[in-house]
Structure 1
Amino acid sequence: MYTHSKETQSKLTPDLALEILKEGNERFVNNLKANRNLLQQVNETQSGQFPFATILSCMDSRTSAELIFDQGLGDIFSIRVAGNVLNEDILGSMEYGTEVVGTKIVLVLGHTKCGAIGGACNNVELGNLTGLLKKIQPAIDRETSTTENRTASNSEFVNNVTELNVHHTIERIRTESPVIAKLEKEGKIKIAGGVYDVETGLVTFFKD
């Protein structure tokens, strides 16, 4: 597997970038790996990087984007924070990845059995974590199909909030970053969402 160069990165379309992620996850689920020499990639990226994707995912130890999408050094910008929530620093990082470096896709990736989502559903308060979990509250408020047991013990409720949290984050990216919104409008990037299943390793991508 080659290391992305400026030329190969520039030739990628947003749709092709999404397909690369889908194919990588398929390899991961089937316990296959692309043939790549990581030490060689260290040498090939020492003077520059040309990643094709910017991925916002949770800090959960089971959700390493490089692994679940079978990518190598220099392939993706991986932004990780509990609950895959959004803030100004993360938006700035995304703008750097897309506008400055040239990634073709911004993927917001939630995952099943997320501790942050569960904590938010249970109204957990703990130091600075309290403010982080509050960022998930809009997704909880939008989950109106569950009328009873709206807590982390209700897996269906948590799954619904997980998906809604990804959608909410995507909406915020488009609203709060004119830079990224412009790139998407011009067709230079794609913004996508999905949920990783910690039991199967499969990523379910949302339809546009």
Structure 2
Amino acid sequence: MQILVPDDPMFMTRFLEVEEPLFHSLYYLHRAKLPEDQAEKVSRAYDAWGDILRAIPGHLTWHTHKTFELAEYSRRKSKGYSLYGPKGEQLISMYVIEVSVENLSSLTECLRLFELAELELRSPLAEALAEIREPDQDRELVDNYKRVLTALQLPAPRALVAELLGAAPEVSLNGALYAEYTDYRDKFCHALSTGDWWMYTMHRSLYL
């Protein structure tokens, strides 16, 4: 299936954090302690994450502690295409990528596994998640995973996908396509940043 991934530093930061520290630590440090079925689900989900990473254009790498300060500079230096609205304003570019239903299913199964583990008082997986979260107890690893997966599962507007597929160096959206763009943009930001007003405001500001 085809999905849209914006050239969005907030998304890339959250997406990469799914691998490190979450999947990397579970796979290499804790997998041997997990029941066989849980270890298999973690392995499949880790592979699925890797497949999606390889499908994302390589220049979408705004994963830095200075994300917001560097966003405008990075946009100018991007190796992608330039996207413009009906009035000629530059927009955050979006890229069409292919993601298999099987990969999304593997990630969804693993999310359910993590959510159940967080409800348990003691289990190998619950203890592993708690250990990975240290020393930053405020780090919500499973919540971050859920937000990323929700963003990846957003239905991509077909007309917008058709316009952006194999985009030329410059693409200008008409009024109808721009409406699809803004609707998808708002849903994408909401999936990643809702619940934290300051973060949501900062996130939305990247698109202005």
TM-score scaled by length of structure 2: 0.27
Bigger proportion of residues as helix: 2
Which structure has the greater CA radius of gyration?
2
Higher relative contact order (Cα pairs below 8 Å, separated by 6+ residues): 2
